[in-house]
Structure 1
Amino acid sequence: MDFAQFIPLVLTSFVCAFASLKIMEPLAHGFGLVDKPCSRKNHSGHIPLIGGLSIYVAVLICSSIWLADSKNLQLYLIASTLTVFIGMVDDKYDLSVRVRIFGQVIVASIIVNGANISISQLGDLFGWGAIDLGVLGILFTYLSIMVLMNAFNMIDGLDGLLGLLSINTFGSIAVLFLASGQLEYLAFPLIVLVAVLPYLAFNMRLLKTKANKVYMGDAGSMFIGLTIIVLLSIGTQGESASFKPVVALWLVAVPLMDMLAIIIRRIKKGNSPFKPDRDHLHHILLKYGMSQKQTLFCITLLSVSLSSIGILGQLNNWSESLLLWAFVLLFIVYSRVLKYVSLKVNAKV
């Protein structure tokens, strides 16, 4: 395979994302698109919420230049634009849960009803044949889109975390596209992956220059969640699917398990599942005594390990039911361990 063909598009993606950050950083303060310290956020100063915008701009420009024009690509970009707009408004005005969900439903409608991207084949999960959801696949896809948009939004609470987790997922998807020989799908995850790199450098202040810190913002986290579910849908559906649907669970395991576990805990406490708190995985590890770097390393390592299980399961043709029940068991263990650690930490406070 000639990897040289991908060099122009990844360079374009990186340059556009980096330039967008530099251009938008001073504008963010003027428009009030900044994250201010509050009871749940202990950073200092007003941090520009433009990381996601830079990724979106890079993907938009790069797709328009290097990818073949199609109806599905156009509708994805329209849905992405709406997602980013909703996220920007939410970043600035803190929209209600109902308004955000309504906006996400519209985004999902564009993907499902416009681009005809849906999840109807779940594979042979229980050993009695492939599961075809039929018409219910539409509802399942709506739910999947909204779940991943919110899962990646909720995991964004530590410098570098969302960037590294998204790079891991996009990289894993690219590996599976490559392994399946479907090179026509390989370009897009590479574009998004590279577009995340400049944001990560600014967010974690990895540059030698005194570059200002930036945050992803709801616009970026929801955009990443939307893009991932679209790629997973393309990769797992149809006769020429690149990987088994159950493998997708392992590629997004950490954000998905964190969201599900915290929603269950909130409901058990009698709280709204959408009420913000500081009980996410990274919060608990920090309260347990880990430093930010240690927490970031542990969660990233966990994410990479779980994605690797999914990739190995696909490449070695492991049983789909085995992968499913292993994931269910993993989630149960994850929830129990997190609950135990959380109680132990809170008991010390």
Structure 2
Amino acid sequence: MRLIGQIHVSLKGSIIQRNPTVWEKLKRSFGATVDLDTDRVRVELEATAVVDQVRRALVQLGVTNALSLVIDDTVIFQDTDGKPDDLPDLVLALSEHSAVFGRGFSELRFAAEHEEAGLHLVIETRARTEHADDEPAGLVSIGGRLRDLEPRAGESAEDYRRRVEPLAKDPALFEAARLQFESFVGRVEGALKATMPEARVEHHHADARVVHAPAGDGAGAEQPPVGPTHPGYDPFVVYYPPSPLGMMLDVMLITSFMHMLTPPHVLFVNPAGTMLGTAQEAAENPDLLNGADRGGDDDLSASDEGDAADDGDPWGDDGGGVDDGGGFDGDFGD
């Protein structure tokens, strides 16, 4: 089961103006008014300030483990050794690059991880100094997993199945995890509001999902979409490569939830992130899962209605990855 949430951070910016054409220059010379405004906005941000504000918000919640910091495709910090409580190391690494990035950047990606109440969480912050006027300047994406459902080192597929199968039949486990995750996303939102008073910080969505990959569809591999505004974007799989046992877990959960009298409030989605229905709806109407794709309806929750689109991600491809030497796979692209 994937726990996925996102928070939007909006800041006041200035409209970017395009260069006038020759004809427009001529018109202006005669006193005419020419509208050169574009649909792009530029926000004045400093990398050190963004990292400091987010870091202070995370520390309020007890989040102290850094994963990586990438600014304009330059790796400033990455935790290759799984060292705990290393946020100060990340701040130190940034200070050593302040002469380069202290006065501005194009895109910043700052990731941390946290564990609480049986959840393993990845918190990824992305900020851009230039964006479309209908987009936020920053996105805080949160992905989580239940620790008890994650494969253990050296665990065989059969051992994993025997251990997890009884857990898959406990609806209270999944409902408690969902509520705990929603609470965490809400607390991140509140902490960001406190450390970023100049910004508009808005909760976008927080939900629990299970991926249904139809036989013969060729799906099942958890690959992150192109960018964080994609409806199926899950930062957890960006920093932690999916286990081959993930598809087995999805099948076990779907089978279990479909036979529960009162299944937990979980969304069934296809590998592209398109919503197929809730577990309750699928239990009442199994045909929902027969067609894996409802024709592009990417609306995964009421709070995210109309915000997600299938036709690309305006935040673009990340253009490569970060090889961490085995700690995590920071592939920031598709």
Assess same fold via TM > 0.5: no
Q: Would you tell me which structure has more helix in proportion to its own residues?
A: 1
Computing the radius of gyration from Cα coordinates, the structure with the larger value is 2
- Structure with greater proportional strand content: 2
Q: TM-score, normalized by length of structure 2? A: 0.31
